[in-house]
Amino acid sequence: MTMTQITLSKPDDMHLHVRNGEALKRVIHDTAKQFARAIIMPNLATPVTQVEQAQAYHQEILQALSDGGHPDVDFHPLMTLYLTDNTTAETIYQAKESGIIHALKLYPAGATTNSDAGVTDITNTYPALTAMQEVGMPLLVHGEVTDPHIDIFDREYVFIETILKPLSKAFPALKIVLEHITTKQAVEFIDNAADHIVATITAHHLLINRNAIFTGGIRPHHYCLPVLKREEHRLALVKAATSGSPKYFLGTDSAPHAQHAKESACGCAGMYTAFNAMELYAEVFEKANALDKLEDFASSYGANFYGLPKTEKQITLKKESWDVPHDLPYATDTTKESDEKIIPFRAGEQCSWKLY
């Protein structure tokens, strides 16, 4: 029997970039429509390294939600702190106390957008990691090495071998999320790791492979980090996401950048999937004959990992084609409005599921 409609508890996006200022005001509503909660990445231009900054950012997000004419929208931002070489154990204890901070994010210095303040040597973070292990605060990992001698398509795999495996041995009880996984080696690592070592998977890494970066010419809107990989890796991700294993859950890594910043001689990394996220995931699960596994992947496993209750709200997805707009309004100047655009994933093409 083919399913033409599915209702699930309102899902959680466990890896999301919403920026701040005017950009935040434009993008947050897309996520609030689709998701009940989201883990908010701390890589603002000024990274969110301190508890007070996370509190201010939390307030800014709540304000943006109510200013956007959705005062009743029941969306909860789950805040994170940006781990640096100097993060203290005291900061971890404060973060735990805050009640709004749910994880620390590890960016190897220079690995991705706004990661200049990232970690230069993992051993510098040992005091913080010790405290995190103690209080049960998860570590979220952008898992790519930054050594320019390592081929860009191998950076995740090399990170797992040289950093993540030793790290998980040094901190055997530390909760770890390997974010936005892209390779069969990452799936193999997660499958064989302890139960508290898990992974998020994006819609775009499930839908397209690295050919999509070069279809008929260079496609900057298909450039993200970690970069898209070969088809065999995409297939391994689809298998993991639709397997019913609680070790894999939804994290869009929706990462908005203005059109001009993407369509440039040195374009930014990141795809904007917040606009049609659940439609995209539904398509993947349908193609894999696994629509019955979508709710756990999107609404349960992430919440369980973070110790959050299941949400009461629901969403419905219907099998119905619709046209994705060519662009959406955006603004990069964090202080004033502008008529910049953002190009959503699948812009100008169709989605086969629609969110209601």
Considering 74, 253, 323, 333, which one is annotated as catalytic? Answer: 253
The question of whether 253 is a catalytic residue gets the answer yes
Q: Judged by CB under 6 A, which of 269, 288, 290, 308 binds ligand NCD?
A: 269
Q: Alpha-carbon distance 276 to 107, whole Å?
A: 27
Does 270 participate in binding ligand NCD (rule CB under 6 A)? yes
Closest approach of Zn ion to the CB of residue 23, in Å: 15
Site residues for ligand NCD, window 219-248 (CB under 6 A)?
224-225
Q: Which residue has the tokens 């050919």?
A: 211
Does 253 participate in binding Zn ion (rule CB under 5 A)? yes
CB environment 152-178: b (16+ within 10 A), e (fewer): ebebbbbbbeebbeebbeebeebbbbb
Phi/psi at 4 (5° precision): -115, 0
Q: Judged by CB under 5 A, which of 142, 221, 247, 262 binds Zn ion?
A: 142
Using an 8 Å Cβ cutoff, are 229 and 246 in contact? no
Q: Would you call 119 helix, strand, or coil by DSSP? A: strand
Q: Alpha-carbon distance 324 to 347, whole Å?
A: 5
Given the complex with Zn ion, which of 81 and 291 has the nearer CB atom? Answer: 81
Does 156 participate in binding ligand NCD (rule CB under 6 A)? no
Residues 6+ positions from 180 with CB-CB distance below 8 Å = 15, 142, 200, 201, 202, 205, 226, 251, 253
Q: Judged by CB under 6 A, which of 10, 17, 221, 247 binds ligand NCD?
A: 17
Does 26 participate in binding Zn ion (rule CB under 5 A)? no
Only one of the segments 71-79, 94-102, 112-120, 330-338 lies at the binding site for Zn ion (rule: CB under 5 A); that segment is: 112-120
In the shown chain, the binding pattern of residues 76 to 115 toward ligand NCD, with x for contact by CB under 6 A and - for none, equals ------------------------------------xx--
For the annotated catalytic residues, the residue numbers are: 253
